[in-house]
Amino acid sequence: MRTLLRASICLGLLGLGCDQLAPTNTEPPLPSKLQRDAALALVRGLDSVGRVDRADAKLMTFDEYVRVAGPVRTHSGDPQATPTVGFGLTLGQERPVWAVAISGQVWPSGRVPVFFGAAPSATPTPYPPYRWAIFLIDAVPGTLMVIGDAGVGDVWPGVFANLPNHRVAP
């Protein structure tokens, strides 16, 4: 009888431990015109994305993105230049966004430089690509909103693991 009781207790404790290890998505669903795969495909098809070594997408509100990742950082063509922080996008926006992380080759300012008031250049940017970027897709219309950040030091944005992930509302 004691052996049966011990076995029952061990199985019960093991079951409790497994429940806590299993990933659960307790975030409320958010509206989105796009599903995850469509958000990934949208970003992969952009001219500013070259080779893709890894890609992932998470649905969240813009506020959640800023709280975890910090403000939007606008990068110039030169990966060694300091990014501009802020870009006029701030907290107070409950709009749903897909944060799509790409590693491989990314040019946050585009591969071909933009010239204002002069003839456009037909040659690609002289700068090397960034190694990763997080693109923010406005989930309701399903369009690119902004590149939230990019980097060259690592091969994947470290903050991406900490971002929440909501389900798409039915």
Q: How far apart (Å, rounded) are the C-alpha atoms in residues 111 and 47?
A: 7
Where is pLDDT greater, at 25 or 45?
45
The tokens describing 168, both together, are: 């798409």
Q: Is the pLDDT of residue 113 over 70?
A: no
User: pLDDT value at position 148?
Assistant: 92
**Model confidence band, residue 104 (pLDDT cutoffs 50, 70, 90):** very high
User: pLDDT value at position 123?
Assistant: 63
Q: How far apart are the first and last CA of the chain?
A: 50
Neighbours of 144 (CB within 10 A): 16
Residue with tokens 């207790």: 9
Q: Are strands 73-74 and 130-138 parallel, antiparallel or unpaired?
A: unpaired
Q: Is the pLDDT of residue 53 over 60?
A: yes
Where is pLDDT greater, at 81 or 161?
161
Helix (H/G/I), strand (E/B), else coil: 40 = helix
Q: How far apart (Å, rounded) are the C-alpha atoms in residues 48 and 29?
A: 30
Q: How far apart (Å, rounded) are the C-alpha atoms in residues 20 and 84?
A: 41
The tokens describing 170, both together, are: 């039915």
Where is pLDDT greater, at 83 or 30?
30
User: pLDDT value at position 27?
Assistant: 84
**Sign of the CA dihedral with 17 first, then 21, 23, and 25 last:** positive
User: pLDDT value at position 57?
Assistant: 98
**Residues 52-79, mean pLDDT to the nearest whole number:** 91
| pTM for the full predicted model | 0.77
List the alpha helices (DSSP H) in the chain.
2-21, 36-44, 62-69
